Amino acid sequence: MIWILLHYLIVAACVVRIVLRPHRDPAARAAWVLTTLAVPLVGVLAYLLLGETSIGRRRLARLGRIEKLLPDAAHFPADAIAACASPRVDALFRVGASISGFAPCPGNVAELMADSDATIDAIVADIDAAADHVHLIFYIWVADGNGRKVAEALMRAARRGVTCRAMADDIGSRRLIRSPLWHEMQEAGVRLASAYKVGNPLLRIFNGRIDLRNHRKIVVVDGRTTYCGSQNCADPAFVQKAKYAPWVDIMLRIEGPVVQQAQRVFAADWMEAVDEDMSAFVGTEIAPIPGGWPAQVVATGPSVRTSAMPEMFTSLIYAARHELVVTTPYYVPTEAIQSAICAAANRGVRVTLVLPARNDSVFVGATARSYYAGLLASGVEIREYLPGLLHSKTLVVDGRIALIGSANFDRRSFDLNYENNILLVDEATCAAIRQRQDSYVSDAREVTSEEVASWSLIRRLGHNAAAMIGPIL
C-alpha cells in the first residue's frame, strides 16, 4: 500500500508540475498530462529528462556573468539605417533587437555561395588568409573530405601564429570529437571546445536537459568576415545519413559591421564552455561599407526568452504583402506560425513552402504532412524537393527582406537549440536568394489538394498522430 500510495503521489506531483510549469502552450500541457497518466512510470521519467526546457541554475548563472563581462556589439545611431528602412522593416528589427539585443547596423555586403563545396573552399581560403584569429562553431563537423579541409586549414593557420578557436557540438560532432583528427588539431595548436557536453544522462536531470544543443554554424575570420546559413562542416554526401544525400544547403559570406554581432555570439558560446575572457574581441567598430545594406544577427536559444524564434518567424510572415517564400527541412510549426502562413495566403500573398520529399526524420516528415490540407485550402503552394534532403533554412519577404541561418520551423529550434540567423534588407541579396529558392522549386514536385485528399485513412491517422505527439518533444 505504501508503494502504491507513493506511486500515485509521484504521478500527481508530476501532473501538478506540468500544469503549473510556465511558458508551456496548452497543447503541450495536455499531451504531457495524458502521457503521464497513460504510462505513469515512462511518462514521469520522460518528463524529468525531456519535459522542461531547463539549462540548469549553474549554467544560467554563468551565462549571466558572461553577458555582464562582454561589451555590447558596436551600435549605430537610428538615422544611420533610416534611409534603407521603413516602418515595416523597423518593426522587424525591433523584434530582432528584443531577442538578442543587437541593433540593426548599416553598410553590410554579402556573397551567396554557389554550393556546399564552394562554401568550404571559401572558408578554407579565408582561413589561409587570416592574419590574427579564426573563430568557428559547427553543430555537425565530420572528419570527411570537407571537414578535413577545414581542420587542415586551421592547423596551418595555428602553426603560423594565427589564434584559432574551434567549437563543435558534443552530440552533433561526437564522431569527430572522439577521432584522431580532433587530437591532431589540438596538437597543432588549435584551441578546441565541445558545446554542451552530455556527461552522465541521469545526473543531467538535476542540471538541465540532456538534449540542449548548439545548432549554430558560425565562422568569423579576423573580425571582418563571417559566414551564416544552414551548412554544417561536412560533404554534401553526409556520411551519417548518406541515403538522403545530397544535403542541399545555403550560406552567405558577409562583410561589414554585422560581423561584430556574430563575433559576440561566438564569444559568449566559447566562454560558456571555456574559462577564457573573450571581451577583447567584441565591440571593435567596423566602418559601414558604402552601398551596403542594414542587417542584424538574431541569435536564439533556451536562455533567451520563450518563443523568440516563433515570434521572429511570425512577424516576418505577417509583414509580407505580395510574396513569401520559405524553405525548411523540418516543418513542425506552432499554431501561431501555421495560422500566420494561412492568413498570408488568404489575404492574397503568394506563399510558397518548399520542403524535402524524403525527410531524415520519419516522424517530422509525417508531422509536416498533417498540416498540408490546411495550407493548401488557404492557397499556399507546397513543393517537395526531390534530388536530396533540402536543408536550406530561408525566408524571403516581398523580394526585399530575408532571414537566413540555422533555425528550422520546428520545436527543437524554437525551444531547445541555440540558433544563429541574420535578418537583412537588400533587394539584390534577396534576388540571389530567391533565385536559389526558384532552383529548389524547379527540382520539386507540387503537392495538390487532390493528392492530399486521396491519402488513405491509415496514412492520415499516422500523420495526425505524429502531430499530436509533437508538442511533448
Residues designated catalytic = 215, 217, 222, 391, 393, 398
Question: Strand 191-195 and strand 381-385: pairing?
Answer: unpaired
What is the largest distance, in Å, between two alpha-carbon atoms of the chain? 77
- The 10 Å Cβ neighbour count of residue 358 is 14
Residue identified by cell 527582406 is 401
Q: Is 444 helix (H, G, I), strand (E, B) or coil?
A: strand
**60 — alpha (psi -120 to 50), left (phi > 0) or beta?**
alpha
Burial class (CB in 10 A: 0-12, 13-18, 19+), 304: middle
Burial class (CB in 10 A: 0-12, 13-18, 19+), 305: exposed
Residue identified by cell 500573398 is 349
* Nearest alpha carbon to residue 444 among 390, 395, 397: 390
Q: Are 381 and 177 in contact (CB under 8 A)?
A: no
- Phi, psi values for residue 137, rounded to 5°: -130, 135
Question: Strand 401-405 and strand 163-169: pairing?
Answer: unpaired
Residue identified by cell 567598430 is 285
Question: Strand 105-112 and strand 251-255: pairing?
Answer: antiparallel
Gap between the Cα atoms of 382 and 445, Å rounded: 8
- The 10 Å Cβ neighbour count of residue 290 is 7
Residues whose CB is less than 8 angstroms from the CB of residue 41 and which lie 6 or more positions away in sequence, other chains included: none
Gap between the Cα atoms of 403 and 400, Å rounded: 10
Cis peptide before 333 (omega within 30 of 0): no
Q: Which three cell numbers stand for residue 267?
A: 564569444
Q: Are 208 and 56 in contact (CB under 8 A)?
A: yes
Looking at residue 237, its amino acid is A
Q: Are 375 and 382 in contact (CB under 8 A)?
A: yes
Q: Which residues are bridge partners to 112 per DSSP?
A: 252
Q: Are 346 and 318 in contact (CB under 8 A)?
A: no
Residues whose CB is less than 8 angstroms from the CB of residue 30 and which lie 6 or more positions away in sequence, other chains included: 471
